[in-house]
Amino acid sequence: MVIILSSVMFICSLIHIAIGVPRRSMSKGLAIPEDIALISVNDIPTAKFTFPSLSTVRIHAEMMDTRGELLAKGTRWSNSATTSHVPSKLKLRGTTK
């Protein structure tokens, strides 16, 4: 899935798609990050080795299972809304200004 926030930024939920965006952009005469900013969800070790290096949001997925179980147990007997935050970290690299 790709979410287009404006004509100058892409956020890709699949890092494997994000890795291909710079090549496709260049074939259309667009430069990253000058014309398009690019951020991908989740961080893999190879993200820093792409060209330009890929900006990412690191989501601690291992915590999502635990939090999801707690939310499910808490809402099973309650009608009230519950919120849980999973830590994340933005790693700005070469695909953002």
Pairing of strands 55-59, 88-91: antiparallel
Give all domains of the chain, ordered by start, each with its CATH number: 2-60 (3.40.50.2300)
pTM of the model as a whole = 0.70
- pLDDT higher than 90, residue 8: no
- Percent above pLDDT 90 for the chain: 38
Helix/strand/coil percentages in the chain, nearest 5: 35, 25, 40
Q: What digits encode the pLDDT tens for the residues 46-90?
A: 999 999 999 999 887 766 666 666 666 665 555 566 666 778 899
Can you tell me the distance from the alpha carbon of 87 to that of 92, in angstroms, rounded to the nearest whole number? 17
Distance CA 29, CA 57 (A): 27
3-state secondary structure of 27: helix
Average pLDDT, the chain: 81
**What does the pLDDT read at residue 70?**
64
Distance CA 21, CA 84 (A): 32
